[in-house]
Amino acid sequence: MELISKLKDKRRKLKGACLVSYILILVSAESHAQTFAEWFSQKKTQIKYLTEQIAALNACETSLKQGYAMMKIEWTAIGNFKNGEFGLHQNYYNSLSQVNPLVKNSTDLPTIHAEQQSIISQFNSVQHLAGLSASEQTYIGLVQQNIIGQCAKDLDDLQTVLTSGDLVMTDDERIKRINQITAVFKDKYLFTCSFCTQIRLLAIQRNQVDQSIQTLNQLYGIN
């Protein structure tokens, strides 16, 4: 009986230990289950946040691409406009550097060259006239050099105006400049005519005076 009683006691203790162990296992399992649930919930939350961030980044990337595409179109349009406008201006400037044949043909170059030759000839003709002193001849030479030098400069300026590619001017501006050069050249020609005529008259008068003196000397026998 005592043995049976001991066996029953050990059985009760074993059941109690098993019950405690079972309870501990349940508690532990519940604790682990709760921890896993929390961990899974956190992971789900992180995944949700990451998904939202990726969606936001994709939306931002799409907006940036669309904005860049629009700006690229605008830049291209602006570039085309500027290039087109520059091309129009460049063509216009290139056209201004070309001399209109009508303008060139309207310039009386033969007359200008004839006046130049006349200026040279007139000065040469009075350079060594009888009746002029050495100082007067030197002065005439200086005037001749100055006038012919200015005429050469005028002709160079005229040639520049009439040559394509040298100046950028409208037809009206070229005509105005040609008229100015022609006018100052004409003034030099008229000055030369007047100046040389006065020299000839002065030489003639002096020669006449010398002849009159010589005649009187002969009449009165004065040596």
C-beta atoms surrounding 169 within 10 Å:
16
Name the band, by pLDDT with cuts 50, 70 and 90, for residue 3: very low
Residues 112 and 201 in one domain: yes
Residues 212 and 136 in one domain: yes
Residues 92 and 15 in one domain: yes
Which of the listed residues 67, 96, 125 is the one where a domain comes to its end? 96
- CA-wise closest residue to 100 among 33, 32, 167: 167
Name the band, by pLDDT with cuts 50, 70 and 90, for residue 62: confident
- CA-wise closest residue to 119 among 136, 137, 143, 135: 143
Residues 145 and 163 in one domain: yes
Answer for the pair 178, 158: CB distance below 8 angstroms, yes or no.
Answer: yes
Q: What are phi and psi of 170, to 5 degrees?
A: -75, 170
Answer for the pair 120, 151: CB distance below 8 angstroms, yes or no.
Answer: no
- pLDDT digits 0-9 by tens, 7-40: 445 555 544 544 444 444 444 545 544 454 554 5
Residues 144 and 193 in one domain: yes
d(CA 164, CA 168): 9
Between 117 and 165, the higher pLDDT residue: 117
Residues 17 and 46 in one domain: yes
d(CA 18, CA 24): 10
Answer for the pair 222, 216: CB distance below 8 angstroms, yes or no.
Answer: yes
Range 131-134, long-range pairs (CB < 8 A, 24+ positions): 131/202, 131/203, 131/204, 131/205, 131/206, 131/207, 131/210, 132/199, 132/202, 132/203, 132/206
Residues 197 and 107 in one domain: yes
Calculate the average pLDDT of the chain: 75
Distances (CA, A) of 148 to 38, 110, 158: 111, 17, 15
- pLDDT digits 0-9 by tens, 124-153: 999 888 888 899 999 999 999 999 999 999
Residues 116 and 182 in one domain: yes
Residues 38 and 114 in one domain: no
Residues 87 and 112 in one domain: no
d(CA 39, CA 186): 108
Residues 90 and 138 in one domain: no
Question: Region 84-88: what's the mean pLDDT?
Answer: 53
pLDDT at 13: 52
Between 131 and 178, the higher pLDDT residue: 178
Q: What is the pTM assigned to this prediction? A: 0.56
Pick the range with the lowest mean pLDDT from 17-21, 59-63, 65-69, 81-85: 17-21
Which of the listed residues 52, 80, 96 is the one where a domain comes to its end? 96
> Looking at the 3D structure of the chain, how many domains does it have?
2
Which of the listed residues 29, 61, 96 is the one where a domain comes to its end? 96
d(CA 223, CA 208): 18
What range defines the domain where residue 141 resides? Answer: 100-220
Residues 92 and 194 in one domain: no
Question: Region 167-191: what's the mean pLDDT?
Answer: 93
175 has a pLDDT exceeding 70: yes
